[in-house]
Structure 1
Amino acid sequence: MSSTPVPRPTRRLQAARLLGLAAVGVLGMIVTDAPFGHFGASSQVTLLGAIYAGVLVALSGLFSLAALQGRRWATWGSFILLSLNIGAFLPAMIHDFPVAGSVMLWSVVHVANEFFVADTRTHRVRRQEQKATPDAVWIQRYGAAARHILAVSLMANLAIVGFEIAASWVADMTCLVLGLGVTALTGPFMLAVVRERPRYLIWLALVLLGVPWGTTPLNAVLVGLTLYQIVAFAVVLARGPLFDDLVQSFLHRPALLLLSTFGTMAVTGALVLSFPASARGAPLSFIDALFTATSAACITGLMVLDTATTFSAFGQAVILILIQLGGLGIMVLSTFATILLGGRLALRSEQALEEILDIQSPGAAYELASFIVVATLALEGLGAAILALRFSQAGMGVLDAIWYGVFHSVGAFCHAGFALWPDSLISLQEDPVVLTVIMALVVVGSVGFSVLAALWLRARGVHRRFSLQTRVVLWMTLALIVVGTLLFALLEWDATLAGMSTFDKWMNALFQSITLRSGGFNSVDFTGVEQATIAVMIVWMFIGAAPGGTGGGIKVTTLAVLAAAFPALLYNQPRAVLMRRAIPNEIVYRAATIVTVAGLITAIAVIIMLATHKLPFAHVVFEVVSAVGTVGLSLGITENLHAIGKWVLIVLMFIGRVGPTSLALALGAQKTGRVTFPEGRLMVG
């Protein structure tokens, strides 16, 4: 073993990991539901559990102090705590596999990370300390340890809420000690940040909001500490090497970043939704929780359980957060947070972001990311205010009206068809205000943020010619809305639209035309639609929204490119022409590839579903296309699917969100060959 002294930032991180292992072990002991095991039922502390917790805390404290002092023997602490956690939770896996397995996995990953992942920034950090500002010096010295212990503390608070163990004094004291320790550690840094930028006082003022929610003084303190930790965690992440750490391994393959972030969101959301506090009755099975989390994170809206009656307020809040994160994208949110908190974005990371957002102008990532989040929050806030006022006028309580307004406004803009009514919006089919607001939010979210930016500049008086992208998206969106409205009204006038006034018929036909392209809400009963209407709906769902927006499908620009390629092919023209602009052949090939891959995935999924379920062919095709297009509409068969069908739709929603092309790029290495082959003639058609 080398005799080189261990750098102090590494010592602090090592101590933080030891304390984190102890905290996770203690909370895991309380949460584990093993009535016939040595840990007892959930929220119960047995004698063996108390002994285990006492030994764990004592050893973690001892080895943490040794780590801070630079003692070499402190490195054995991680192995000892790991062995203790494995020995304690391995028998508990028989009774409570998710909790016991999670504690063991956490322990193994963090011990492996400590010994097999080197800190390559240590020497660079020590060289830069003399030049950095005080808050930057703090980040360099304490940032890694603070991020780790903040994450552990926030997870501990989430466990208290999710597993409903607030009555356990051991859990409360564990979170209190962690919260006070984190506050003491990050306090000087936060004060320095506030002195540098007084606007951060607004963030810290959120802590005061926690006081009224505490039923007891201890609960009020815990809620306040939790809110403070959320603010501190955001600031520490933004001031540290956030983006370099996040995308360093994805710089050459940005599509892999999409897969990783949405996959992480889905799995994490599934774990939280499986908490007892997420459901009104019995906790959800993992597959139902994963289905719901994937549907929310991938902004689809397909549901195997009724959102209003199955999920508690906590569970609905988790779904809403997943919808918002899925709609904006993790990368965009992180970029905006860095801008807001005064950070910077590395050039290569910015290039990766530009590829993900499908923008070509260099340096535009900052401006577009800022516009995305500001415009989204502003439009969702306006929609929520109008909906809340309308719901309040209809007799709903003020708090319920606000919650329903926010939930449906975010869901509409992000194209997630989750509704807090069992029949979606059928009960509101004669309310033009609600339908108009939902339609407006769906349309605005579907056109893409680059188009919104162009429209915003035009509204501010900046008169310049729209780009080809903007013109194609606007014209295709208008054409699909008008044609879809006419077709739906023509086919359903005396069917699902029967009994309505003429105005309501046209309003609901317009609503379905708009929401079919990835919106996910419905104001008529789809179980009674005509067969011809189902065919039209499948086509509209397959087309979807525009690139850069919150919708799915093959995108309206893809359809426009293929439509322009047909005349070029028929008349043997070398290039496709769209709105008096020649389209490069590689764009045509890409559009054809997207449609081909999406169609192939749809066909395979339909075959699997038909082979494993006794369901009507049209209903299966509708369900599959709804999942691939991240639409969220159903003809009523989602709740009747068994495990295989649910897994098929989970995979389809995930593929539909990240895109078939992104999936192919992430899973297949790009190769540039230098070998050319002679041309060959082949008869086709």
Structure 2
Amino acid sequence: MYRREKTTVKLFKKKGKIIKLHPAQILVIGFAILILLGTFLLMLPISTSGERHGLSMIDALFEATSAVCVTGLAVVDTGTTFTVFGQIVLLFLIQIGGSGFMTLGVFMFIILGKKIGMKERLLLQDSLNLFTLSGVVKLVLKIISITLIVEIAGAIILAVRWAHEMTWGKAAYYGVFHSVSAFNNAGFGLEPDNLSKWVGDPAINLVITFLFIIGGIGYTVILDIWQKKSWRKLTLHSKIVLLFSLILNIVATLIIFASEYHNSATLGKLGLEDKVWASYFQGVVTRTAGFNTIDIGQMTLPSQVFMMVLMFIGASSGSTGGGIKVTTFVIILLTLWTFLSNKGDVNIFKRRISWQLVNKSLSISVSAVIFIFIIFFLLTYTEHASMEKILFETISAFGTVGLSAGLTSHLSPAGRILITIMMFIGRIGPLTMAFAWMSKRNGTKIRYAEEKILIG
């Protein structure tokens, strides 16, 4: 059975006693504080334009959570509701939420010349989902370098493209905003219809998808490719992420192309080349970021159902994306195949997967299903909408994807709070949330007699 680490971190003293917190608890508290700070800033009158005098507390909390959790769901239009100040607040929340507040915190320690202690290393290990503490500080520097290089490159290319239809200043701003949003898999856009007006634009499609695909495969995979430069030498994790991400992207593109080809509300009105670009974009974006070039709410039910599956799977471990993660999904499939074929071990690429990882994968998946069901069930009470729209919104929030079938802006206050909770759980991770809740409960050392029960 999978056992969580019992490592705790001494954080502060209370009445002379040292309070010890599990890293999972500190991550939850840290993200919560960041969200509350963002909520306060978005409630300020300076953050909103027009006659608005700041957002209401519920709307500000929703937007801040969506930004920190790099989801992209929005109850207001980003481009018209927020001032430049409000948009920059969102951008900083996206950047910190995507890279991880612990990553940026340790980076600041390095800049200031402060020593990185064991407490910070343990938190980094838990935040980045690493196997060991070895080299975590160097990894932070590499993560920051990768982030800056990719985001700057993306911003420059997008700015050059948009300079053909807007002023250089606005084009540069659009380039930076969308580059940061895409690399961190947030999906926030500055246009009311997101990226729909560039549905067939090769430059926008390729740059935006490149950014969120790179962000979605994870820093460890990027560094592994950079250092090894050979498929044979890559780690098993990298091979699984790359291969199955490619398979899922190809299958998703083909299914959306076939399902939406004759749908006049989506692909039906487009030329063949634009249909291909739109199918590709919505196929690869579904597992990670919330951008869209066609109206998601008008897509056929088969397309939406398949997109729910992709959003549930999500991106890669250690990336800016959400979901249960590609590796978790693959391990579950391999475990099922192992059981059905009556084999003893779970194997892939001539390597054996430990049963500890199998149990962890099952725990992540089951806890995710439970959280999704609870929020979905409660939303059926609070929202007057079709079941598929409510479920789509719930899974999108859990996967921190940000795609919406048109329900987000019509959510009731209670519904907005529920989706906010779902986004938070999705970003932190269902198992981390469970660890934070259960960390003080010690497992029993008693081992009882075994007895069989009927299953299946």
TM-score (norm 2): 0.93
Q: Distance in 1 between matches of 2:377 and 2:118?
A: 45
Q: CA RMSD in A?
A: 1.8
**Which residue in 1 is equivalent to 2:164?**
393
SS of 1:375 mapped into structure 2: helix
Q: Secondary structure at the match of 1:517?
A: coil
Shift of 1:116: 7.9
Q: Matched residue of 1:582: which SS?
A: strand
User: 1:502 is matched with which residue?
Assistant: 272
In structure 2, the CA distance between the partners of 1:116 and 1:680, relative to structure 1 (3 Å rule), is closer
C-alpha distance in 2 between matches for 1:361 and 1:609: 40
- What is the distance in 2 between the residues matched to 1:349 and 1:535? 41
SS of residue paired to 1:587: helix
Amino acid at match of 1:300: T
Residue 359 of structure 1, CA deviation: 1.7
2:104 counterpart residue number: 333
What does the per-residue CA deviation read over 1:378-421, in whole Å, with 9 as the maximum and x for residues that have no partner?
Answer: 10000000001111112x11111111110000000001111100
TM-score, with length taken from structure 1? 0.62
Residue 226 of structure 1: aligned partner: none
Q: Structure 2 residue aligned with 1:660, among 417, 422, 430?
A: 430
For 2:252, the equivalent position in structure 1 comes to 484
Counterpart pick for 1:575 among 345, 350, 358: 345
Query: Offset at 1:353?
Result: 1.6
The partner residue of 1:269 within 13, 24, 38 is: 38
Find out whether 1:366 has 2:366 as its counterpart.
Answer: no
Contact 1:545 1:552 in 2 (8 A): yes
Q: Which amino acid aligns with 1:602?
A: I
Alpha-carbon contact 1:606-1:620 (below 8 Å) kept: yes
Q: Residues 560-571 of structure 1 correspond to what in structure 2 (within 5 A)?
A: 560-571=330-341
Q: Is the 8 A contact 1:270 1:289 kept in 2?
A: yes
Q: What SS does the corresponding residue of 1:577 show, helix, strand or coil?
A: strand
Which residue among 366, 382, 387 is the counterpart of 1:612? Answer: 382
Going from structure 1 to structure 2, the CA distance change for 1:670 and 1:477 (only over 3 Å counts) comes to: farther
1:637 to 395, 399, 407: 407
| Distance in 2 separating the partners of 1:345 and 1:464 | 35
- Of 584, 602, 617, the residue aligned with 2:354 is 584
Q: Post-superposition shift, 1:348? A: 4.1
* Corresponding residue number in structure 2 for 1:321: 92
Structure 2 counterparts to residues 169-208 of structure 1, below 5 A: none
Matches of 2:356 and 2:321, distance apart in 1: 24
Identity %: 36
User: In the superposition, relative to structure 1, how do residues 249 and 473 fare at CA in structure 2: closer, same or farther (>3 Å)?
Assistant: farther
Given that 1:350 and 1:363 are in contact with CA atoms closer than 8 Å, whether structure 2 keeps it comes out as: no
Instruction: Give the corresponding residue for 2:286.
Output: 516
Match of 2:5 in 1: none
Q: What's the secondary structure of 2:163's corresponding residue?
A: helix
Separation (CA, whole Å) in 1 of partners of 2:441 and 2:183: 35
Establish whether residue 289 from structure 1 lines up as the match of residue 71 from structure 2: no
Q: Distance in 1 between matches of 2:231 and 2:449?
A: 50
Partner of 2:114: 343
Which residue of 2 is the match for residue 542 of structure 1?
312
Aligned length: 439
Q: Any idea what the Cα deviations from partners look like across 1:10-40, whole Å, max 9, x if unmatched?
A: xxxxxxxxxxxxxxxxxxxxxxxxxxxxxxx
Work out the CA distance in 2 between the residues paired with 1:352 and 1:647.
Answer: 28
> Contact 1:473–1:557 (CA<8 Å) still a contact in 2?
yes
Secondary structure of 1:393's counterpart equals coil
Match of 1:279 among 41, 44, 48: 48
Structure 1 residues 463, 469: CA separation in 2 closer, same or farther (over 3 Å shift)?
closer
Matches within 5 A, 1:76-115: none
Unaligned 5+ runs, structure 1: 1-114, 121-247
Q: Map 1:370-519 to 2 at 5 A.
A: 370-394=141-165, 396-459=166-229, 465-495=233-263, 496-519=266-289
Answer with 1 or 2: which has the greater Rg: 1
Once the two structures are superposed, residues 185-239 of structure 1 have per-residue CA deviations (whole angstroms, 9 ceiling, x without a partner) of xxxxxxxxxxxxxxxxxxxxxxxxxxxxxxxxxxxxxxxxxxxxxxxxxxxxxxx
Secondary structure class of the residue paired with 2:347: strand
1:675 paired with 2:446, answer yes
Retained in 1: the 8 A contact 2:106–2:120? Answer: no
Tell me which residue corresponds to 2:79: 308
Q: Which runs of 5 or more structure 2 residues have no equivalent in the other structure?
A: 1-12
Which residue identity does 1:398 align to in structure 2? W
* Cα distance in structure 2, aligned partners of 1:410 and 1:498: 32
Q: Secondary structure at the match of 2:233?
A: coil
| AA at the equivalent of 1:677 | Y
Determine if contact 1:497/1:505 at 8 Å carries over to the other structure: yes
Contact 2:200 2:273 in 1 (8 A): no
Which is richer in helix?
1
Q: 2:393 maps to which residue?
A: 623
Q: How does 1:29-48 map to 2 (within 5 A)?
A: none
What is the match of residue 4 of structure 2?
A: none
Q: Which has the higher contact order (CA 8 A, sep 6+)?
A: 2
* Amino acid paired to 1:320: L
TM-aligned CA deviation for residue 520 of structure 1: 0.5
Q: Residues of 1 paired with 2:179 and 2:15: CA distance? A: 43
Distance in 2, matches of 1:507 and 1:470, equals: 27
1:41 matched to which residue of 2? Answer: none
Answering whether residue 439 of structure 2 is matched by residue 647 of structure 1, we say no
Specify the SS of the correspondent of 2:352: strand
Aligned equivalents of 1:485, 1:670: Cα separation in 2: 46
Q: Distance in 1 between matches of 2:91 and 2:39?
A: 13
Between the aligned partners of 2:256 and 2:305, the Cα distance in structure 1 is 11
Q: Distance in 2 between matches of 1:561 and 1:509?
A: 28
1:561–1:578 CA contact under 8 A, matched in 2? no
2:208 corresponds to which letter in structure 1?
A: I
